[in-house]
């Protein structure tokens, strides 16, 4: 009983520490972090469920943060698949580099520099928080990188206000995830 109590206390400390890390990063750079808390397991699952993992080999994640979704992608993807995780916040890049998986390549620069062709791109970028021109360049670049493989972008947002921007480069459908703080929208986007 005592060990179970210690495990619960340790898990609670880790959760609080992770949430504090997000809060700290958000306060220091709200335009690039865009959230106060990590994505919930339900949001991650909703994003991952949009992909045929038997055919997915080349994966990118834009705005990987501290690796909440990254870890789940690595757990789900094939042994011969590759994941490029893009993140510009140094604290988050450090955490991503601590993940021990040969299939992961941490890209410590903007998703504007996305290269290669991808089967799927997961995007956790706060499209409405970053400058419009930057968001447009990232979306255009992502569209180009997905076209070659008939790929898909899975984007989550907290508001429907990015739909006009998404519609310039993609056809899309959306699902709502209420078990997240705050509730989120997941967009399944196919290049035009």
Divide the 192 residues of the chain into consecutive groups of 10 and give the mean pLDDT of each group.
Answer: 52 49 45 65 98 96 97 98 97 97 98 96 96 97 93 97 98 98 96 96
pLDDT at residue 2 in the model: 53
pLDDT at residue 15 in the model: 47
Best CA proximity match to 53, nearest among 16, 20, 78, 87: 78
Phi, psi of 188 (to 5 degrees): -100, 110
pLDDT at residue 36 in the model: 55
pLDDT at residue 19 in the model: 47
pLDDT at residue 22 in the model: 39
Angle at 68 between CA 170 and CA 56, to 5 degrees: 50
pLDDT at residue 9 in the model: 52
pTM of the model: 0.82
Q: Answer whether 144's CB lies under 8 Å from 111's CB.
A: no
pLDDT at residue 148 in the model: 82
pLDDT at residue 25 in the model: 42
pLDDT at residue 149 in the model: 84
């Amino acid at each position: 009983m005592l060990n179970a109590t210690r495990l619960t206390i340790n898990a609670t400390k880790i959760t609080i520490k992770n949430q504090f890390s997000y809060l700290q990063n958000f306060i220091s750079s709200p335009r690039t972090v865009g959230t106060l808390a990590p994505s919930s397991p339900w949001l991650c699952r909703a994003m991952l469920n949009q992909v045929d993992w038997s055919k997915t080999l080349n994966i990118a994640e834009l705005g990987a943060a501290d690796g909440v979704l990254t870890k789940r992608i690595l757990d789900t993807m094939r042994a011969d698949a590759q994941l490029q995780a893009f993140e510009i916040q140094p604290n988050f890049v450090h955490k991503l580099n601590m993940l021990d998986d040969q299939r992961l390549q941490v890209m410590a620069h903007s998703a504007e520099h996305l290269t290669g062709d991808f089967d799927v791109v997961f995007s956790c970028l706060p499209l409405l928080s970053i400058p419009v021109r930057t968001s447009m360049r990232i979306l255009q670049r992502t569209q180009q990188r997905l076209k070659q493989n008939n790929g898909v972008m899975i984007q989550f947002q907290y508001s429907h206000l990015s739909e006009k921007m998404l519609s310039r480069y993609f056809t899309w459908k959306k699902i709502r995830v209420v078990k997240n703080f705050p509730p989120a929208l997941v967009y399944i986007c196919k290049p035009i």
